Amino acid sequence: MLEKKAIKGQMTLKLETSRKLNVLHKHITKLAGINKLNEVYLISFSLLNNLYPSSDICIGLVEGDLIRVTCTKNDSDNVTALSKDGKGIMVRAWRKKTTQIVNDTRLDPEYVPVGLFTHLSETAVPVIFNEEVIAVINIKDPRANGFTEDDKQIVEILSEYISSIMLRISQSMKVSTTESTYRTMIENSNDAILVVSNSKIVYVNNVTTKLCGYEQSKELVGKNAVDFISQQYRDQFGERIKRRVAGEPQPERFDHEILRKDGSIVQVETTASMINYDGKQSVLFVGRDITERKKFEAKLFALHQYAAQLGAAQTLVEVSEPTLKTISSVMGYEYANFMVREGDNLGCIDDNGFGSPYWNIPIDGKGCISRAACEKRTVLENDLSGSTEINGGQQGVRSELATPVILKGEIQAVISVESMQKDAFKESDVKILEIISYHVASALERIELG
């Protein structure tokens, strides 16, 4: 009975995450065509209500010394603004410019009850524009541990879209009809911006030049814009320019691929709008490199498939094998170990890349794996040059990342990823390996209950 409940709970979580991703993509399409700031927040608020129908939601706008609460879902909320100098999870998100997740508000001294209800979990995600927090998305749940890592990533994606749309609206409002005015604002933009007239490029900023793999903007100006689009999207891109110039309705936002000078491909999200440039009707394109975001979305999808595979695992081998394969496919690293606790030691039951026979190490020993087990936390070492504290005696390892698998407060296993390169691991690798560790812990708990 417990096993069935656990499996049912995992399936429910996966279905709920899929629903949220579908809702997110649907509403982002609506956001792409919005040109007024208040409408951006209203549609974002509507999206959040669809994503979290049982939670209390608000968006706080940063105004001077206050975070003014707007778009409040719960009519009983009686707080209209929070002081930047005061307490509150939203205030902390503004101050630290990072997402804040509180799994139990009773344990957080900065938690401030809002309205008539006490919420046991709360998340606050900042919306950052030009390196400043301009708003904070706030979601409160009556349950403890009401938000998952997937929830955090979904709301952060929404925050990035809001920031991108804010940039487009700001640029559309400020761009004038002269090149000098364009240059003042656009050259300092973090996005790729170009102007096309009669299918020819008449202006590009430095970001566009670098994105296309060139040294100087004059190498692009005067050329046909379509020539810089990958073959797969070339006809579609050219048709969009013609129809937009003709005044026909076209999607404000679309994804395509840029063909760089060296032949490589960059995935780009682009918005297009009509402007008057040097007295000629032209198209202003604002693009953003989304290659890494697309890779992340693909990794997220692969992790969901991995979780589903673990749902059917019955043995440690059936847990370790897909885990190591996922590390290889999602993280891109070929060296990894799956260590299982055996008393006071950790035994390697499977590995990627090394092909070593069974070996074990003491939990209270040296090295990243032992430290991760002993301290019950993720350990990252990006420079092991000359170090003698390398588990298992692998030769040539220069970077190591180890994450514990914890079940009921006790160490059950340690997953480590290794590289022969110095500074190999990023913060995103840490997050992914910790997600994998969470899935392994859930699988081990289910097998134990079975």
* Residues 274 and 329 both lie in one domain: no
On whether residue 241 sits in a domain, the answer given is yes
Q: Considering its fold, how many domains does the chain have in total?
A: 3
User: Are 101 and 93 in contact, with CB atoms under 8 Å apart?
Assistant: no
Cα 363 from Cα 372, distance rounded (Å): 9
* Residues 328 and 283 both lie in one domain: no
Report the candidate in 111, 89, 106 with the shortest Cα–Cα distance to residue 98: 89
On whether residue 2 sits in a domain, the answer given is no
* Residues 254 and 280 both lie in one domain: yes
Considering only CA atoms, give the Rg of the chain. Answer: 25
CATH at 116 = 3.30.450.40
* Residues 198 and 159 both lie in one domain: no
* Last-in-domain residue among 261, 289, 317: 289
CA 269 to chain centre: 16
* Residues 50 and 193 both lie in one domain: no
Long-range contacts of 84-89 (CB under 8 A, 24+ apart): 86/112, 87/111, 87/112, 88/112, 89/122, 89/123, 89/124, 89/138
| Sheet with 399-407: strands ordered across | 360-362, 345-352, 335-342, 410-419, 399-407, 379-381
Secondary structure string (H, E, C) spanning the chain: CHHHHHHHHHHHHHHHHHHHHHHHHHHHHHHHCCCCHHHHHHHHHHHHHHHCCCCEEEEEEEECCEEEEECCCCCCCCCCEEECCCCCHHHHHHHHCCCEEECCHHHCCCCCCECCECCCEEEEEEEEECCEEEEEEEEEECCCCCCCHHHHHHHHHHHHHHHHHHHHHHHHHHCCCCHHHHHHHHCCCCCEEEEEECCEEEEECHHHHHHCCCCCHHHCCCCEHHHHECHHHHHHHHHHHHHHHCCCCCCCEEEEEEECCCCCEEEEEEEEEEEEECCEEEEEEEEEECHHHHHHHHHHHHHHHHHHHHCCCCCHHHHHHHHHHHHHHHHCCCEEEEEEEECCEEEEEEEECCCCCCCEEECCCCHHHHHHHHHCCCEEECCCCCCCCCHHHCCCCCEEEEEEEEECCEEEEEEEEEECCCCCCCHHHHHHHHHHHHHHHHHHHHHHHC
* Residues 44 and 152 both lie in one domain: yes
* Residues 399 and 282 both lie in one domain: no
On whether residue 39 sits in a domain, the answer given is yes
* Residues 371 and 257 both lie in one domain: no
On whether residue 4 sits in a domain, the answer given is no
CA 25 to chain centre: 14
- The residue to which tokens 């975001």 are assigned: 293
Can you give the pLDDT of all 450 residues of the chain as single tens digits?
A: 434 444 444 444 455 666 777 667 666 666 666 667 777 778 888 888 888 888 888 888 888 888 888 777 654 455 678 888 888 999 999 999 999 999 999 999 998 876 556 789 999 999 988 888 888 998 888 889 988 888 888 888 888 888 877 777 766 655 444 455 555 666 777 888 888 988 899 988 889 999 999 999 899 999 998 899 888 888 888 887 778 777 777 776 788 888 999 999 888 888 888 888 877 888 888 888 888 888 777 777 888 888 888 888 888 889 999 999 988 888 888 889 999 999 999 998 888 887 766 678 899 888 899 999 999 999 999 988 777 665 544 567 889 999 999 998 999 999 999 998 899 998 888 988 998 999 899 898 888 876
* Residues 152 and 263 both lie in one domain: no
CATH at 241 = 3.30.450.20
On whether residue 183 sits in a domain, the answer given is no
Cα 364 from Cα 371, distance rounded (Å): 7
User: 111-147 burial string, b = 16+ CB within 10 Å, else e?
Assistant: beebbeeebbbbbbbbbbbeeebbbbbbbbbeeeebb
* Last-in-domain residue among 123, 145, 172: 172
Give the residue numbers spanning the domain of 395.
Answer: 297-449
* Residues 139 and 69 both lie in one domain: yes
Identify the pLDDT of residue 122. 92
* Last-in-domain residue among 289, 315, 341: 289
On whether residue 265 sits in a domain, the answer given is yes
Identify the pLDDT of residue 97. 93
* Residues 38 and 145 both lie in one domain: yes
On whether residue 180 sits in a domain, the answer given is no
Neighbour tally for 441: CB within 10 Å: 17
Amino acid identity, position 118: T
* Residues 312 and 263 both lie in one domain: no
